[in-house]
Structure 1
Amino acid sequence: MDLLHPQLAAFAAVLEEGSFEGAARRLSVTPSAVSQRIKALEDRLGQALVVRQLPCRPTPAGERLLRRVRPMQVLEAEALAEFVPAQDAAARAVPIAVNADSLQTWFLDGLARLHRGHGYLFDVRVDDQDHTQEMLRNGTVLGAVTGQAKPIQGCNVDPLGAMRYFAIASPAFAKAHFRSGMHAGALASAPLIVFDREDDLQWRFIRRITRARMSPPVHYLPTSSGFVEAAALGLGWCLAPETLISSAVEGGRVVVLEAGRRLDVPLYWQYAAVRSETLENVGRVLYEAATGALRR
């Protein structure tokens, strides 16, 4: 392991930083040294591990190795914490994936409590709740807030609760497009605000109402907080978490379109199945932080 450790550290650093140069800065060595270590590791294992393009990404073999290396790094940091100052032991960032709406509403409170209580640093990756699990599968992160209840191999899963979404629009937009309700004809013509092309929430909501697939005019706007502002400005209608829309609804800037229609999205905390105090602390605090924002 003494021989292998610098090679594994270089391997993980390249994939975390996305380049050999970034890994070299973090490890305080030259890019050439990083390249030599990874080449030695690949020769030792007999397989290519890193796709050498920007950003660098793991090969299928690299994904399998990264899934093993990530938990080892956490356990190593916990072991060293008994012998070195806490701030040194906590210097390695914990990689976590989360969906944008959770990050905007309840997730940051949990991270702040973990940092204050334990000194943890975090490397947060953001993706749709239906896709964060892939980052856990390929070893990019150690834990993920995901919409998938079934744990992937080598992971545990705990339910967090459900995020409730309502359809909103500005009063003028609602009057212009939904005067007679959210029927198929109105939904087919009213401009729609979608986070990105992976965001399926609005389409699920439409299918629940109309039982049909349709192609309304679409704005792509990759910002959770900007959804409410865009709706208030009359850009279109959208789904937004109830915790984000309360002040805008109270102020009359947006209205809820048919309050009886809502979409509840269950969220789960999936994490590497290792006996790690760090992961236990993260899971416990995130569950507590989610209590005020999610429906049980």
Structure 2
Amino acid sequence: MIELRELSSLLALKNTGSFNAAAALLHVTPGAMSQRIKQIEESIGQILIVRSSPVRLTHAGETLIRLAQQVELLIDDARQTLIGNECPIGLTVAVNHGSLATWFSDVAIEFVSLGIGGLDVRCADQHETVKLLTDGTAVAAVSAEATPPSGCDCVALACLNTLQSPRQFTLHDQTMKGG
């Protein structure tokens, strides 16, 4: 079983790039940080990070980073429900250049005006936005890809008819399945 503090440790390690910086962020020793990562690796039987400078996530590590980000969002949502709107959530969304230049800015403004949180919009090529989703940078992505990455759902947003050919843009998000 993976514990919340272990997921938090993995997320801190991904965000900082080193055991020392992640340990300082979480106010633990580097040895404790290393032990937490090792406990997860032993419990799932897979290596999570490549111990380099900066550390890099393996495929298993990327999968658990998505889980850690989802858990973080759920905790923020519960906190917001329990104590009110004092701690609005922030969502990181990867959006392709064309969508951002045309329709996405209106959606972003409407989302922020609801008062439930802010958006951190990461702009990338339409075929690269899914990469930002799978590496844990974003929790949702607008993409030209019709097939969602593993662990994500796909929702068709629009079909654009251009002179070249019709293209469908989709939103991939890391929603928890089941339950």
Q: Confirm or deny a common fold (TM above 0.5).
A: yes
Is 2:27 the counterpart of 1:29?
yes
2:67 is aligned with what amino acid? R
Partner of 1:266: 168
The CA deviation at 1:59 is 0.5
Is 2:28 the counterpart of 1:9?
no
SS in 2 for 1:86: coil
Provide the rounded CA distance (Å) in 1 between the counterparts of 2:94 and 2:147: 17
Partner of 1:63: 62
Identity %: 32
> Paired residues, what number?
176
Counterpart among 124, 129, 133 of residue 127 in structure 1 = 124
> 1:94·1:121 contact (CA, 8 Å) conserved in 2?
yes
> 2:96·2:124 contact (CA, 8 Å) conserved in 1?
yes
The alpha-carbon distance between structure 1 residues 44 and 155, as it changes in their structure 2 partners (threshold 3 A), is closer
Provide the rounded CA distance (Å) in 2 between the counterparts of 1:80 and 1:19: 29
Runs (5+) with no aligned partner, structure 1 = 166-260, 276-296
Larger relative contact order (Cα-Cα within 8 Å, sequence gap ≥ 6): 1
Counterpart among 100, 105, 113 of residue 103 in structure 1 = 100
SS in 2 for 1:94: strand
Partner of 2:139: 142
With normalisation by structure 2, the TM-score equals: 0.74
The alpha-carbon distance between structure 1 residues 104 and 38, as it changes in their structure 2 partners (threshold 3 A), is farther
The CA deviation at 1:269 is 0.9
The alpha-carbon distance between structure 1 residues 19 and 127, as it changes in their structure 2 partners (threshold 3 A), is farther
Is 2:154 the counterpart of 1:157?
yes
1:29 is aligned with what amino acid? H
Is 2:74 the counterpart of 1:75?
yes
Larger-Rg structure: 1
Partner of 2:109: 112
SS in 1 for 2:131: helix
The alpha-carbon distance between structure 1 residues 139 and 77, as it changes in their structure 2 partners (threshold 3 A), is same
Runs (5+) with no aligned partner, structure 2 = none
The CA deviation at 1:115 is 2.4
> 2:133·2:141 contact (CA, 8 Å) conserved in 1?
yes
1:71 is aligned with what amino acid? Q
With normalisation by structure 1, the TM-score equals: 0.49
The CA deviation at 1:264 is 5.0
Provide the rounded CA distance (Å) in 1 between the counterparts of 2:113 and 2:53: 35
> 2:9·2:37 contact (CA, 8 Å) conserved in 1?
yes
> 1:97·1:126 contact (CA, 8 Å) conserved in 2?
yes
The CA deviation at 1:49 is 1.0
The CA deviation at 1:117 is 1.4
Q: How big is the alpha-carbon RMSD for the aligned residues of Structure 1 and Structure 2?
A: 3.2
Partner of 1:279: none
